[in-house]
């Protein structure tokens, strides 16, 4: 039973024998074993061996308010006592879900006036795909069934979302993308041939127009993108890119979906990345920072246009058949409300905006390192791209398994970051990070890189 003490060794054996880990090689995990985390406070995590490490990745880009926020625990316990569950089916509702929906509408870009709650990002994306399909049928344009997304994009692991994702290991042996899912090149400045930002933006717009023309405009449903690509290696498009892509979708008459699962909730500076460019998408997906990892929850924000299209096209006698048992879960919603309070009234958003100057300086200072080809970031989201040769930007040979070594060395030096397969270090510290902790993060990363020389 969980109440009985258990040895670290038994835990490791039970993990190896029974627990399937996400995005992990089963065989590699059996031989390596798990790193089992025990507790967290602020920016720090402690594992079962007593190692205390600085988490520069906010769990999985989600614990934006840091660990151990007591007021969130209290909000959860209070709600669990009063009403642990209420379905949204059969016209039922609960106060936290309704209040969170209203709050999100007031904070997200104008026009996104309706919310469907999910359990995370993957089902928010999947819900977007389902509602978009429903929308085009409802408004009498049933030929619009082709979806376009970006290379290097990540839109989750659902059966349909994983095909919009464009990362090879999410496709290998899974038989996606599906035939109606298409990708255009990513606005990856460091590895593009564009002379400047304006050309990179023009190239992206050109790729989208060409793809839509190839598919036939009358067949295209929507374009999905992350305002800054996260799992694809933190690809930061130039300022103006998001607006240009939004405007292009408007001109083409296709829906524009912003996947702000990572970029939402202060990660890039403003509350939402769309805000920085005055962009209002037709749909927006949210998760992660919404509950800051304290409970699972995602949200699909829907514009009036899509909502009314679906509403008016459906018979009032027939239910629109999309739902989740835990949509609008009251405990997650109560947590979401408290997390939003901490961002806005608890000073965490403002702290993130202020410490991001140190984050930027820390990133830029690493560009002189012999292994570093590129550093990039916005707000509290960043990347350090390692190369075998700075001049040619050549990548390290995959056989070196540098990413695994990097991650292990970082952990040994007391810092957790993401080490992507193509040797890009991803960073997303919690927005509650102090200046001192930020300095510590970069000192430990430099030590880790020096150790690889
Ligand atoms: N969309 C984006 C942009 C993401 O980064 C992620 C997860 O990292 C997802 C969707 C999927 O979210 P989840 O893992 O909560 O299902």
377: which residues sit within 8 A by CB, 6+ positions away? 234, 236, 359, 360, 363, 383, 427
pLDDT single digits (tens) 138-185: 999 999 999 999 999 999 999 999 999 999 999 999 999 999 999 999
* pLDDT tens column, 334-377: 999 999 999 999 999 999 999 999 999 999 999 999 999 999 99
Is 231's C-beta closer than 6 angstroms to any atom of ligand 1?
yes
pLDDT digit string, tens, across residues 410-434? 999 999 999 998 899 999 999 999 9
Strands 283-286 and 255-259: parallel
pTM to 2 decimal places: 0.98
Q: How far apart are CA 263 and CA 265, in angstroms?
A: 7
Q: pLDDT class for 1, splitting at 50, 70, 90? A: low
Q: How far is the CA of 44 from the centre of ligand 1 (A)?
A: 23
As for the ipTM of the complex, it is 1.00
Query: What share of the chain in percent tops pLDDT 70?
Result: 99
CB half-sphere exposure, 315, CA atoms < 13 A = 4
Q: Is the CB of 230 under 6 A from ligand 1?
A: yes
The verdict on the CB of residue 228 being under 6 Å from ligand 1 is no
Residue 2 binned pLDDT confidence (cut-offs 50, 70, 90)? low
Separation of CA 154 and ligand 1 centre (Å): 7
Instruction: Decide if 282 contacts 306 (C-beta within 8 A).
Output: yes
Report the CATH architecture of 35-56+347-452: Alpha-Beta Complex (3.90)
CA distances from 265 to 26, 65, 231 (A): 33, 10, 17
Mean pLDDT of 98-103: 98
pLDDT of residue 126: 98
Residue 291 — φ and ψ, nearest 5°? Answer: -115, 10
Residue 259 Cβ inside 6 Å of ligand 1? The answer reads yes
What CATH number does domain 72-344 carry, 3.40.50.1220, 2.40.50.100, 3.30.420.40, 3.40.640.10? 3.40.640.10
Ligand 1 lined by 261 (C-beta under 6 Å): yes
Taking only the tens place, the pLDDT of each residue in 271-307 is 999 999 999 999 999 999 999 999 999 999 999 999 9
- C-alpha torsion sign, points 211, 300, 432, 57: negative
Q: Provide CB contacts within 8 A for 162, sequence distance 6+.
A: 155, 156, 170, 171, 174, 176
Q: Where are the beta strands (DSSP E) in 336-452?
A: 372-378, 381-386, 415-416, 418-419, 424-427
| Ranges of each domain in the chain | 35-56+347-452, 72-344
């Amino acid at each position: 039973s969980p109440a009985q003490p258990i040895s670290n060794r038994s835990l490791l054996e039970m993990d190896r024998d029974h627990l399937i880990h996400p995005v992990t090689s089963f065989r590699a995990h059996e031989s390596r074993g798990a790193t089992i985390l025990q507790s967290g406070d602020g920016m720090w995590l402690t594992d079962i061996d007593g190692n205390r490490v600085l988490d520069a990745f906010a769990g999985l880009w989600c614990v934006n308010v840091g660990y151990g926020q007591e007021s969130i625990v209290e909000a959860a316990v209070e709600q669990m006592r009063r009403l642990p569950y209420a379905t949204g089916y059969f016209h039922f509702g609960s106060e936290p879900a309704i209040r969170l929906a209203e709050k999100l509408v007031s904070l997200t870009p104008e026009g996104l006036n309706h919310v469907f709650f999910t359990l995370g990002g993957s089902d928010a994306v999947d819900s977007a795909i389902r509602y978009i399909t429903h929308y085009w049928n409802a408004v009498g344009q049933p030929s619009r069934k082709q979806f376009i997304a970006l290379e290097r994009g990540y839109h989750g692991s659902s059966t349909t979302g994983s095909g919009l994702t464009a990362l090879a290991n999410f496709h290998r042996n899974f038989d996606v993308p599906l035939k109606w899912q298409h990708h255009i090149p990513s606005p990856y400045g460091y590895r593009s041939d564009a002379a400047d930002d304006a050309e990179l933006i023009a190239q992206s717009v050109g790729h989208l127009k060409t793809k839509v023309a190839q598919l036939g405009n009358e067949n295209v449903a929507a374009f999905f993108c992350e305002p800054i690509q996260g799992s694809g290696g933190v690809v930061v498009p130039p300022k103006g890119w998001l607006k240009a892509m939004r405007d292009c979708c408007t001109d083409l008459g296709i829906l524009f979906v912003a996947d702000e699962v990572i970029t939402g909730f202060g990660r890039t500076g403003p509350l939402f990345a769309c805000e920085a460019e005055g962009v209002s998408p037709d749909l927006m997906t949210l998760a992660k920072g919404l509950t800051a990892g304290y409970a699972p929850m995602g949200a699909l924000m829907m514009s009036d246009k899509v909502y009314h299209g679906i509403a008016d096209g459906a018979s009032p006698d027939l239910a629109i058949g999309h739902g989740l048992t835990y949509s609008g879960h009251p405990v997650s919603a109560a947590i979401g409300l408290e997390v939003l309070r901490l961002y806005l009234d608890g000073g965490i958003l403002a702290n993130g905006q202020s410490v991001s100057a140190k984050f930027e300086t820390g990133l830029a200072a690493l560009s002189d390192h012999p292994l570093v080809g590129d550093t990039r970031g916005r707000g509290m989201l960043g990347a350090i791209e390692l190369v075998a040769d700075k001049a040619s930007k050549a990548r390290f040979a995959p056989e070196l398994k540098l990413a695994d070594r990097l991650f292990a060395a970082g952990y040994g030096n007391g810092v957790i970051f993401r080490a992507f397969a193509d040797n890009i270090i991803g960073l997303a510290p919690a927005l509650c990070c102090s200046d001192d902790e930020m300095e510590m993060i970069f000192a430990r990363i430099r030590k880790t890189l020096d150790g690889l020389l």
